[in-house]
Amino acid sequence: MDFTFIFLIILMLLAAQNGIMALAVVMLILAFVTAKNRYALYGAVVGAGLLLGTYFNFFKENGPELFIGGIFIVFLIAVKGDEQAQPGYGGGYPGMPGY
């Protein structure tokens, strides 16, 4: 599981909530550039949706609940992407020698 990606999304949302939109956009671009698989890209799209919702002030009353829900969705997407790595020959992961 890619915890650094989830941490990056959380920092992006915190920067957006504090009004530092330039830093939040840079973190969003960094999330798209450093995505390792398509599930990370899906998580970045969810983060982008939350960032746009913050920028256009869609989360007036239910902001914290929606942020926690969005982070939970990003977490579920990251866990789903981690399930794709199956052990290879000899019980190791692909690319590792099976002793």
Tens digit of each residue's pLDDT (9 = 90 or more) over 69-91: 888 888 888 787 766 555 555 55
Give the model's confidence band at 29: pLDDT under 50 very low, under 70 low, under 90 confident, else very high. Answer: very high
The rounded percent of the chain whose pLDDT value lies above 70 is 81
Residue 61 pLDDT exceeds 90: no
Angle between helices 21-33 and 38-55 (to 10 degrees): 170
Residue 3 pLDDT exceeds 70: yes
Whether pTM exceeds 0.85: no
Can you say how many angstroms the Cα of residue 87 is from the centroid of all Cα atoms in its chain? 25
